[in-house]
Chains A and B, each alone.
Chain A
Amino acid sequence: MNEPTNPPGHIETPEDIDQHIEPHMVVETIPTKRRQIDLVKKFKEEKLFAFGVIIVFLSIFLAFFGPMISPYDPNFATGNVSVGPPNILDWPGLFIDTVFLGADPPHWFGTDNSGLDIFSRTISAPRTDLQIALIAALLSMAIGTTLGLLAGFFRHFLTEILMRISDLLQAFPVFITAMILVALSGRSTTNIVIALTIVYLPIFIRLTRAEVLGQMPRGYVEAARAVGNSEFKVAFKHVLPNSLVPSLIQLSTTVGFAILLTSGLSFVGAGVRPPTAEWGLMIALGAPQIILGEWWQSIFPGVAISLTIFGYAAVGHGLEEDYR
C-alpha cells in the first residue's frame, strides 16, 4: 500500500489554518464567531429593553416580597374611608418622617372605599397577578410547544384535528373564551390558571409548528435519522431544541398579556374574589368613585398594569429583534 502523501491527521496543522484566515476575507465569508446575545451590552445600549428588564425584575421582586414590605396589611382596613393621597410636594417630608422619625406611614396612594391602603394593595397585587400569569404562560408554552412539535413533525389526521381545534379557539376573542371557561368551571385561582393556559395554547402551537415545518427539510434531521435515532428522539432531541426560540420570545409578551387578562377577568367579576389585593379588582372597586372625584382608587393600579405589560412586551420585542 502506498503511503498517502498527506496522512489525514496532518493535513491542516494549526499554522496552516492561521494562514487561511486573512483579515480581508471578513467581507465575504460567513462570520464564524459564536452568535450570542450580549445581554449586558444590550441592557446598556437599548433604553427600551433596559426599561423592560427593570420592570420585569421589579414585578418579580414584588411578587415575592410585596406583601412583606408593604406598610399596611393590604387586606385589612387601616385608615379612613376614601382618603386622597397626600400632596406630591409633601412626599419627601413624609418619607423622612416615616423612615427616620418613626411616624406612622402615610397612605401614599390614598385609601379606598373600605379604608384599605391603596399603596400596600398595589405593591402586593403582583403576588396574585404574576403568579397566575407566569404559571399559565409557562404551562401554555410547555404544552403548546410539545403539541406544536407533534403537529409539525408527525403529519397525521390527529394532528390535523389538533390544528383545527386550535383554529376554533383562536376564532373567539381571548377574553371571551377565558371568561366563558372560568364561568363554566367556577371562580378559583386554579381555574383561572387553566383558562389562561388554554387561551394562550394556540399561539405556542402555531409558532412551534411553523418553526418545526421550517426545520424538517434541514439536513440535520435526516442525518439524525441516518444515525439511528427513533422518530421520537429525532423530534425531541434534535428538532425541538432548534424550534424553541420563537416560543421563548413569545413567552415574555404572553406573561404581560396574561397579567392584563387576569386583571380583566377580575374587573368583570370573573376573576379572583375580593378583597384579594389584585389590580383589576382594585380598578373595578374604584371605578364608580371616579365620578365623585376619587381618581386615586383606580389610577394607581391602572398605571401599575400598564407599566408591567409594557415592560414585558419591551423585553419580548428586544429579544425578538436580536433573533431576526
Chain B
Amino acid sequence: MVAETNESMVAGSSSENILEVRDLSVRFPIVEGPDVFAVRDFNLAVKPGEFVGLMGEPGCGKSTAAMSFLGLVRPPGVIETGQINFAGDDILKMDEETVRQMRGRDIGMIVQNPRYSLHPMMRVGDQIANVYRAHNDVGKREAWEHAVSMLRMVGINDPERRVKAYAHELSSGMAQRVLIAIALSSQPKLLIADEPTSGLDVTIQAQFLDQMWDSCRQASSAVVLVTQDLGIVANYCDRVVIMHEGTIVEDADVYTFFESPQHEYSRRILQLQREAQEAGDAVLGKIDRTAPPILEVKDMSKLFPIRGSESKVHAVEHADFELRPGECLGLVGESGSGKTTIGRCVLRLVEPTQGEIVFQERNIAEIRPNEFRKFRGDLQIVFQDPLDSLNPRWTVHQVLSEPLKLHTNLSPEEKEQRISELLNLVGLEPSMRFALPREMSAGRQQRASIARAIASNPDFIVLDEPTSALTPETTAEIIQLLMDLSAKLGIAYLFISHDLTTVKYICHRVVVLYLGQIVEVGTKDQVFNQPRHPYSRALLSSHLFPDTANRRVDREVRETLEGEIPSPITENLPKGCYLYGRCPSQVDKCRDLPQELTKLDDGRSVRCWRVAEGDLPDEPAAH
C-alpha cells in the first residue's frame, strides 16, 4: 500500500517535484559476511517549499539516504541502483564537477554538531562569503556584505561584529545559525538537515527551527529534515516519511500520520507514548499530601570556585522544595540551569555550599562523609548515559551484587535470589545476568542501571535525565518501567530532565529552574497548562510536543526568548531579575529588583514580582 502511494506520487507529479528519488539502493560491502543494504528500493518525491520529516530508529538508513541526495555516500558504501532527479536531472548521471557546483548552490546541507562543522581558523563571515563566491560571480566586498545580511537574516544580534568571529567564539546555538546561514546563502532549492538540533536546548531549538522555517518558506526552499524527534515532526513538517530497515514504510501527511499511523513501527512509537501517558495518569494522584515530606531541601546553594579568580559559578541559588513519599517531582530547565547540580547535591555527590537537606527528618547535609555512606542505600541515582555509568568490566551480576553487599546482610543464596528478583523487576532476561554493559542494548543498560539503584530498597531516587540518551521507543519503555516501580515499591523520584514530554507523563509536581534559581513550582497541570512565570511560559511554548493540534508554525504568536542563557558567573549575573534582557514582559523595575519566590493563592510559587502582584495578565498558554 505504501509503495502504491509512492508510485502514484512519483508518476503523477514528475515535473513539479524539486527532488525525485527512484529505486535508490545504497550498498555497504562487509568484509566478513554478506553485503548490507543501508538503503534499498527508496522512492521519494519532494515538492518545492515542502517540509519533509525523515524519521526512523537509529541505523534505519535515514542519514545515508539523506546524504545520497547530494550524491554522497560514506565509504565504503556505494550507490547501487536508482535515480536521484533534482529539478528533472539525474544527479547520479552528472559528472562530479557539475554535482559539486550544485552542492551548496542548489542543495544545501546542515549537519549535526555545529561546532565541528565550522572551520576553526576562519572567520564565519569568510566561510559564508566563500560559499557565496564559489557559486556566484561577485567580488569579495559584496560577498562580505552578503554574509552580514545572511547573519542578520538568521537572527544573530550585532551581525557586523559577529561576522568577524571565529567558531570557538560562538555558542552552539549561534554556530548552528551560522551553519544555516551558510546553507541558505545562495538560496538553495533544497535543504537537507540531518538532526540539526540534537544537543540544543529547547528555546534555542525553537529559535533555530523557526528561523529555518521562515527562511525556507520565504525562498520556497524544500527541506528534508532527518530526525528522531516526534515533536519536531509534529510542529514543523508537512509530511512524514518513516524508514525502517532501509526502506520507506510510511509516507503520509503529518496530520494523517499522527491520527492514524499505518506501519507497525509508527504505531508502536506513537502508542508507546500514549501508553506511557495513560499509565502515568493511573499512577498519578495517589500521593498523600498530608504525609510528612520524605525530602526537604531548604535554602540550598552551590557555588563552584573558579581557579585563579575571585568570582564563582553560581550553579544553584537558594533552592527550596520538598518531596512526599511516592511522589515524582520534575526538575526542568535548560542546560546550565543547575538541575543536575541540585540532584548531585541532594545525594551529596557534590557538597552543597550552604543549606539543609532534610531526608526522613534528618539533616543529611551535616553528616560526615564517611558516615553518610551508610545512608546511600536509601538515596539512589540513575544516570543519564547508561553505558558510561556502568563499570565496563563488570557483568550485570557484579553490578547488582555491590549494593547488596554494602547495604544488606543477605546470605550468598539470598543474594542470588534477590538478583534474579531485581532482573525480573526491571524486565531484564535471566540470560543478561552475566552480560557486560557493552553487550547489551542501551535500553537494557539503563534497566541494569535502574536495577542497581533499587537493589538496596531506597525510598528516594534521583533520575538524572534517565532517558535522554535513548531512542523515543526505548524512552517510552523506560518511563513506563519507572512508573511501575514507583507504584510497586513506593519510591519517590526527583526527575531531572530537559525533555518536557517525559516530565509531563511521569511527574506530579514540577520545578522550573533558570540560571540556578527556582522560578516556578507547581503541580503538573498548573505548570503545563497555565505557566505563570515568563520563563516557564517561553520554555513550554518552545517545547515541541508531539501533537499536531497546536503546531508551532500555525501559532500567531510564537513565544520565545531572545538570546541565550548567560553563564552563571558572579559578575555576569544580572542585578535584579535573572531573566532581565530576555524576558518578553520585562519593565524597567525588573532590572534592579532582586526577585523572591512568592507563594500564590493557587498553591504554586513564582519568582516574578509582576506575577505575584497580579501585574502580569494571565493569558492562557499554548499548552
Contact = CB atoms under 8 A, between A and B. Distances in A.
B279 A219 contact: no
A26 B61 CA distance: 11
23 contacts: A1-B282, A8-B481, A8-B484, A11-B477, A12-B477, A14-B429, A17-B429, A24-B38, A27-B36, A28-B59, A219-B385, A220-B389, A222-B349, A223-B391, A224-B391, A224-B402, A227-B402, A227-B406, A227-B456, A228-B377, A228-B456, A242-B391, A242-B392
B28 A11 contact: no
Contact of A223 (B28, B30, B383, B407): B383
A247 to B, nearest CB: 15
A87 interface: no
A93 interface: no
Interface string A1-14: 11011111111101
A173 interface: no
B485 interface: yes
Contact of A230 (B246, B373, B487): B373
Interface of A: 1-2, 4-12, 14, 17, 20, 22-30, 32-35, 218-220, 222-230, 238, 241-242
A35 B437 CA distance: 12
Interface stretch (B419-427, B494-502, B599-607): B419-427
A224 B403 CA distance: 9
A145 to B, nearest CB: 16
B59 A230 contact: no
Contact of B388 (A26, A219, A224): A219
Contacts of A228: 373-374, 376-377, 403, 406-407, 456
Nearest to A224: B391
B30 A218 contact: no
A5 B275 contact: yes
A212 to B, nearest CB: 14
Contacts of A28: 38, 58-59, 61, 63
A32 B440 CA distance: 7
B245 interface: yes
Contacts of A11: 427, 477, 480-481
Nearest to B347: A226
B383 A222 contact: yes
Given A20-B441, A218-B388, A2 B37 contact: no
Contact of B427 (A8, A25, A226): A8
A18 to B, nearest CB: 12
A238 B398 CA distance: 12
Contacts of B34: 23
Given A23-B36, A24-B37, A222-B383, A227 B481 contact: no
Contacts of A12: 427, 429, 443-444, 477
Given A24-B246, A227-B452, A242-B393, A4 B279 contact: yes
A223 B382 CA distance: 8
Contacts of A8: 425-427, 480-481, 484-485
Contacts of A222: 349, 383, 389
Interface string B142-163: 0000000000000000000000
B480 A27 contact: no
Interface string B370-385: 1001101100110111
B436 interface: yes
Contacts of B393: 241-242
B439 interface: yes
Nearest to A17: B429
Nearest to B482: A8
A22 B443 CA distance: 17
B245 to A, nearest CB: 5
Interface string B49-63: 000000000111101
Interface string B336-377: 000000000001010000000000000000000010011011
Contacts of A20: 441
A223 B389 contact: yes
B392 A6 contact: no
B278 interface: yes
A218 B383 CA distance: 11
Contacts of A225: 349
Counting chain B CB atoms within 10 Å of each CB, the highest count among A6, A24, A35 belongs to A24
B164 interface: no
A241 B59 CA distance: 33
A22 B377 CA distance: 40
Given A5-B278, A227-B406, A228-B373, A29 B59 contact: yes
Contact of A227 (B63, B376, B436, B441): B376
A220 B392 contact: yes
A6 B275 contact: yes
Contacts of B60: 25
Nearest to B40: A24
Nearest first, the 6 closest Cβ-Cβ pairs linking A and B are A219-B389, A228-B376, A219-B388, A2-B282, A28-B59, A8-B427
A9 B383 contact: no
A238 B406 CA distance: 15
A69 B410 CA distance: 57
B521 interface: no
Nearest to B370: A230
Given A23-B36, A222-B383, A33 B59 contact: no
A14 B449 CA distance: 20
Interface string B410-438: 00000000000000111101010000101
Interface in B218-249: 245-246
Contacts of B383: 219, 222-223
Nearest to B431: A14
A305 to B, nearest CB: 37
A17 B381 CA distance: 27
Given A20-B441, A227-B402, 19 more contacts: A1-B282, A4-B279, A6-B275, A8-B427, A9-B427, A10-B427, A11-B481, A12-B443, A23-B34, A25-B60, A26-B36, A27-B38, A27-B59, A27-B64, A28-B58, A220-B390, A226-B349, A226-B376, A230-B370
Contact of A26 (B30, B370, B385, B481): B30
Contact of A7 (B59, B403, B484): B484
A186 to B, nearest CB: 43
Contacts of B282: 1-2, 4
Contacts of A23: 34, 36
Contacts of A35: 438
Contact of B480 (A2, A4, A219): A4
A222 B383 CA distance: 9
A288 to B, nearest CB: 55
Contact of B59 (A14, A25, A218, A226): A25
